[in-house]
Structure 1
Amino acid sequence: MTTHQINRLGHQGDGIAEGPLFAPLTLPGEEITGTPDGQTLRDIRIVTPSPDRVAPPCRHFKSCGGCQLQHASDDFTARWKRQVIETALAAHDISAEIGPVYTSLPNSRRRATLAARRTKKGAMAGFHARGSDTIIEIPDCRLLHPELMPILPLAEDLALDGTSRKAPLAVSVTLSLGGLDVAVHGGKPLDGPLRITLAGLAQKHDVARLAWDGEVVVTRRPPQQGFGSALVTPPPGAFLQATAEGEAALLAETEMILNDATRIVDLFAGCGTFALPLARRAPVHAVEGDRAMIEALDAGWRHAQGLKPVTTEARDLFRRPLLPDELARFDGAVIDPPRAGAEAQIAEIARARLPRLAYVSCNPLSFARDARHLMSQGYLIGPVRVIDQFRWSAHVELVAGFTLNTE
């Protein structure tokens, strides 16, 4: 057992001491004791706690791996997430105003992926333990929306009937306007008897839709999502912002950035999170690599009222970014790429001299890289707003505006 001082938090939310040695569930400034195991400290005891340390609000926190930062105050977490962005930008010599942090409330997560496994006595479902394949049951979870909690008994039933004791299920669930939208992966092959069983479970647990390894087994009600005035039925397991409040905050910032745009292109458009609300006041061209998602967006627009024209295109923007001649007809863009960022597409946006861009990012590192390229080509960066949808996690999301400097 040795004594260590925690100097900072790493990107995964673990405390870091000299070495480096990683110490889960610690905070900067704390003096701790622990036993080194490779680069990780085990059997940690807090000798001098940080003033930012708080009692975790969830009784599952110490064992469950669903959250990383419940032991830290909300003020500390907000400061740390701002610092993560500032550090990423500073690595590219970028200085930007970091606006207030919006943090989603407890019990507001509307989508999650749980693990479910058969046991000797039945089945269990929950999140994986921290750094382990062990499943921790979470009946009193402070993260998930209350209307999402019925997924736990359903996931257990799915494990009993749909997998062996050696193969855990991944059960993804989204809260839709029609109820629970469930997509299961890793189970038994889908045959006739299993279809009948799954249909019965969907009825028993009042599920809107149940899909098994990508195939829809039963739809009892349309699992719709509301994007502005449009109602969209996404394909099973489609991407959705983690909380309704977080989505609203991202959209409000995006609408403000693109307030004067008269024709907008939405890149990595998904099922229409931004494209459909933005179409209330300007025509939008939505581009997305997943054909099923872009078809869902198009169907939602066609059945909506009062929207400007929305055109759609299924296209892999990593391999085939929109080129300057294609971007020339737009005066505003919103881009919401995966964690890798959008290096190729950002280069073409800069070449096209597109006047304004709203950039939504889930990775400050790739965002900073792309921002550096835009600024090197004459763009000015506006305030960066931190949107903390993944409360108590190390995940950092942001939205920022870029305007072409024409002076």
Structure 2
Amino acid sequence: MAEQVTITRLGAKADGIAESASGPVFVPKVLTGETVTIERDGSHARLVSVDAPSPERETPFCPYFDECGGCATQHMKHGFYQTWKRDILAHTLRQARIEAPIEPLIDAHGEGRRRVTLHVRFPERAMHVGYMAPRSHRIVEIAFCPIAEPGLKERAPVVARAIGEHLSAARKPLDVQITNTQTGLDVDVRGHGPLKDKERLSLIDLAASLDLSRLSVHGDVIVERRPPAIVMGRASVVPPAGSFLQATRLGEETLASLVTEACAKTKRLADLFAGWGPFSLRLAEKSEVHAVEFDQGSMTALDKAFRATPGLRRIATEARDLFRRPLLTPELNAFGAVVLDPPRAGAEAQAKQLAVSKVPLVVSVSCDAATFARDAAILMQGGYRLERVIPVDQFKHSPHLEVVGILRRGVAKKPSRRS
């Protein structure tokens, strides 16, 4: 049944919140102060209409916005959006009882996402290719994605559909990850499981017809027609199939610039959760680097890129699970700085070791404000001061935010943390 409500505030995921007798109701794609008509589904609701719009509302540029779950904020005017996103970080730090200067939000969207993941599903006898609808497994079919880089915008759905057709006999739900590299598209397919010989041969032919650089299934390379290269500073890296990559080129460059600027005077440092080198390869232009990452394939790719790039200082690589085996105090004390770039779960175990170390500088890069605050609080309790907090917006049109924190120890001023 439809009902009319007023949105009182926005949540951290960009949902509007309306108060009701039964508790808060979460409504997507609305703004504070708006009167809207909704249809409830428990504590969540579907937006039927905006009856009294906010002056901060604007028309979304994507024709799929109302249905697609990929973007959440295209209806916000730019200034309102930037303030809201920065305020999420400020609120999270306040909840952790951390006072620190938060710098202006850096727009790092650039030309758009260089990697997208499209879903291929086979309900009944049809094939659907696109993104998921909000809070649903229903596929919103798309012909193009306007927030992707030009080389992906229209090609990604074509590639995903062609792969779905070639693997349709199994009728398994597929996730097709497509990355735009310097040498063409790098595609990794998840969900199918082991391939039969006939399917492998079919995909090899398909990769040629689509002119893909590389095609893999669950990280198993089916064919590599050209090494899918990613430029990082002076170096060129061929990443392991399906491995992590920052969402936008400008986002990666911005984060790396902030990290290298902070570490500019450091002779020897550790890059923890290093991936396959977005920071290490740039840091090595001036400093000796010890790079640590759980995945051996990433360490091999980084080492190969380092050895192929003249003029870099030494990069030592170590495959190690930093969640279970963080670097211990004696190991950490050998470095003049430590860079942390963990996954969304953060680096709690490593932060606890750093808190009792003598490392003078920690640069923390995080894709989750809550785990950033938790880890920063641990470091501050150990005597570090949170000197700078820089929000970086490479996930534009979504609630996700990158955060760079610069923490120093050995300063006269006590850590700025409220009791």
User: Taking structure 2 as the reference length, what is the TM-score of the superposition?
Assistant: 0.93
State the one-letter code of the partner of 1:127. Y
* TM-superposition CA deviations, 1:57-92 (whole Å, max 9, x none): 111111111111111112122111111111111012
The reply on whether 1:6 has 2:7 as its aligned counterpart is yes
- What residue in structure 2 maps to residue 96 of structure 1? 100
| 1:145-184 alignment, distance < 5 Å | 145-148=149-152, 149-164=154-169, 166-184=171-189
Moved more, 349-358 or 104-113: 104-113
- What residue in structure 1 maps to residue 147 of structure 2? 143
Q: Secondary structure at the match of 1:126?
A: strand
The reply on whether 1:54 has 2:54 as its aligned counterpart is no
From 342, 345, 349, the counterpart of 1:340: 345
From 318, 322, 329, the counterpart of 1:324: 329
Q: In structure 2, how many angstroms separate the alpha carbons of the residues matched to 1:57 and 1:208?
A: 31
State the one-letter code of the partner of 2:43. Q
- What residue in structure 2 maps to residue 190 of structure 1? 195
The reply on whether 1:366 has 2:366 as its aligned counterpart is no
The reply on whether 1:132 has 2:136 as its aligned counterpart is yes
Q: Secondary structure at the match of 2:40?
A: strand
The reply on whether 1:230 has 2:229 as its aligned counterpart is no
Moved more, 2-11 or 204-213: 2-11
Verify the 8 A CA contact 1:101 1:387 in the aligned structure 2. yes
* TM-superposition CA deviations, 1:251-277 (whole Å, max 9, x none): 111112112211110000000010110
The reply on whether 1:276 has 2:277 as its aligned counterpart is no
How far 1:167 moved relative to its partner? 2.2
CA distance 1:43–1:242, change in 2 (3 Å) = closer
CA distance 1:123–1:146, change in 2 (3 Å) = farther
Moved more, 350-359 or 265-274: 350-359
Q: In structure 2, how many angstroms separate the alpha carbons of the residues matched to 1:165 and 1:311?
A: 44
Q: In structure 1, how many angstroms separate the alpha carbons of the residues matched to 2:108 and 2:250?
A: 7
Q: In structure 1, how many angstroms separate the alpha carbons of the residues matched to 2:180 and 2:159?
A: 14
State the one-letter code of the partner of 2:207. A
Q: Secondary structure at the match of 2:81?
A: helix
- What residue in structure 1 maps to residue 115 of structure 2? 111
Q: In structure 2, how many angstroms separate the alpha carbons of the residues matched to 1:25 and 1:105?
A: 20
Q: In structure 2, how many angstroms separate the alpha carbons of the residues matched to 1:43 and 1:378?
A: 48
Verify the 8 A CA contact 2:109 2:248 in the aligned structure 1. no
Q: In structure 1, how many angstroms separate the alpha carbons of the residues matched to 2:191 and 2:236?
A: 30
From 188, 208, 211, the counterpart of 2:216: 211
Percent identity over the alignment is: 42
Q: Secondary structure at the match of 1:79?
A: helix
From 299, 314, 319, the counterpart of 2:319: 314
Verify the 8 A CA contact 2:264 2:286 in the aligned structure 1. no
Verify the 8 A CA contact 2:260 2:283 in the aligned structure 1. yes
How far 1:217 moved relative to its partner? 0.4
- What residue in structure 2 maps to residue 201 of structure 1? 206
State the one-letter code of the partner of 1:17. A
How far 1:137 moved relative to its partner? 2.3
CA distance 1:56–1:368, change in 2 (3 Å) = same
- What residue in structure 2 maps to residue 67 of structure 1? 71
Tell me the matched-pair count: 407
Moved more, 131-140 or 345-354: 131-140
- What residue in structure 1 maps to residue 299 of structure 2? 294
Verify the 8 A CA contact 1:122 1:160 in the aligned structure 2. no
How far 1:121 moved relative to its partner? 8.0
- What residue in structure 2 maps to residue 377 of structure 1? 382
How far 1:51 moved relative to its partner? 1.4
Root mean square deviation, CA, Å: 1.6
Verify the 8 A CA contact 2:113 2:148 in the aligned structure 1. yes
Verify the 8 A CA contact 1:161 1:197 in the aligned structure 2. yes
State the one-letter code of the partner of 1:2. E
* TM-superposition CA deviations, 1:4-62 (whole Å, max 9, x none): 22122222221111121100111112122323321012353222211111100111111
Verify the 8 A CA contact 2:372 2:403 in the aligned structure 1. no
- What residue in structure 2 maps to residue 394 of structure 1? 399
How far 1:125 moved relative to its partner? 1.9
Q: In structure 1, how many angstroms separate the alpha carbons of the residues matched to 2:252 and 2:304?
A: 21
Verify the 8 A CA contact 2:69 2:132 in the aligned structure 1. yes
How far 1:382 moved relative to its partner? 1.9
Verify the 8 A CA contact 2:7 2:31 in the aligned structure 1. yes
Verify the 8 A CA contact 1:8 1:17 in the aligned structure 2. yes
| 1:15-30 alignment, distance < 5 Å | 15-18=16-19, 19-30=23-34
Verify the 8 A CA contact 1:334 1:357 in the aligned structure 2. yes
User: Taking structure 1 as the reference length, what is the TM-score of the superposition?
Assistant: 0.96
Q: In structure 1, how many angstroms separate the alpha carbons of the residues matched to 2:285 and 2:358?
A: 25
Q: In structure 1, how many angstroms separate the alpha carbons of the residues matched to 2:61 and 2:115?
A: 20
How far 1:333 moved relative to its partner? 1.2
Unaligned stretches of 5+ in structure 1? Answer: none
Q: Secondary structure at the match of 2:39?
A: strand
Q: In structure 1, how many angstroms separate the alpha carbons of the residues matched to 2:46 and 2:318?
A: 51
Moved more, 171-180 or 145-154: 145-154
Q: In structure 2, how many angstroms separate the alpha carbons of the residues matched to 1:284 and 1:99?
A: 28
How far 1:140 moved relative to its partner? 3.4
- What residue in structure 1 maps to residue 267 of structure 2? 262
